[in-house]
Amino acid sequence: MSLTPEIIALLTLDAIFCFFGLIAWVVAFRIAFHWNAKATTPFQYTLSKQSYLGAIIIKYIFMLKLPLFAFFIYTCDKLSSIIAGAMCAAGVVNSVDFGLYLTLFKLLNLYLFGFWLLLHYADVTDEKLPFTRLKFVLFLLFALPLFAEIALEVSFFSSLNISKIVSCCGTLFSAASDSYMSLLFVVDERVWVGLFYGSFGITLLAYGLKNRLLLIVSNALFLIFAIISLIIFFSTYVYELPTHRCPFCLLQKDYYYVGYALYAFVFAGTFLGMGGGVLALLSRRTQPRFMRSSLAFNTLYLLSISAYPLVYFLRNGVWL
């Protein structure tokens, strides 16, 4: 293992998350099996106080993990300078067999913990505390991918081999790749772009109909096709190179860190759409604020990413 200051910081925080996550898990276990909002016993009073403790721990874990996801990518990007063959974070992530799964676990946990916070907010703003038991039951489940992510991250940094030659992003994100990524290139790029705009149209329909289930499904589809179309089509216009399709290089200084804004738009929009939809189903009340915010962020992403090929065509008179 190569211990850089960034890796030491990430591993230290992992140890802290693990410690406090276990405390929150024990609290959640007690509340999940013994909570009774109608009881007035000393034990129920103790559980009420412990529920605040558990909620605070979970909230601060999420608040730290949100910027730490960007810091993890930054760390991998920085490590690419000492790993042969790697040109950005993509090469470092793929230098370990489960590096991509670790990244996906991080994204999954952000969505899960974010939804937990939405449920927590809906719970504490209602004097009857209708979701207290449910939110701690969910944390018992959500803690599993959190602990899995911590274990994978420790294994990931332990498995990094700076003397091993790895593939660069130009090889990984191409039709010539021998990985699952090459399967995306089998389908014509116009199909992926059409699915991207089509899924956005379905989200508009869901907002118009205020259909909660359609809202959840359409935002999930929009997230999937936004990422695929970004790799297959839109990224080439950001880089102005027909062969450069790396989703990690968008986060680099050479491209004005535009990836941070693009990913923030699409992740925030789809999270608010899916999270607000699930919350509306549970509370049986529409969540217009989440719906409006989701639509705004998704539209910002669509307009931002669509501007790149249009501007390129207007400037050069040809498509890539």
Average pLDDT over residues 290-316: 92
- Cβ-based burial of 47 (10 A; exposed 0-12, middle 13-18, buried ≥19): buried
Query: Which DSSP string corresponds to 219-262?
Result: HHHHHHHHHHHIIIIIHHHHHT-TT---SSGGGSGGGTTHHHHH
Going from the C-alpha of 274 to that of each of 62, 108, 188, the distances in angstroms are 18, 13, 28
Say how far apart CA 80 and CA 65 lie, in whole Å: 22
End-to-end CA distance of the chain: 42
Average pLDDT over residues 48-72: 87
pLDDT at 178: 65
- What percentage of the chain has pLDDT greater than the value 90? 26
115-164 pLDDT tens trace:
888 888 888 888 888 888 898 999 899 889 888 989 998 898 888 877 77
Is the predicted pLDDT of residue 193 greater than 90, yes or no?
Answer: yes
Average pLDDT over residues 90-109: 83
160-169, 193-202, 204-213: which range is least confident on average? 160-169
Is the predicted pLDDT of residue 176 greater than 80, yes or no?
Answer: no
- Arithmetic mean of pLDDT over the chain: 86
Task: Give 58's DSSP letter.
Answer: H
93-102, 105-114, 218-227: which range is least confident on average? 93-102
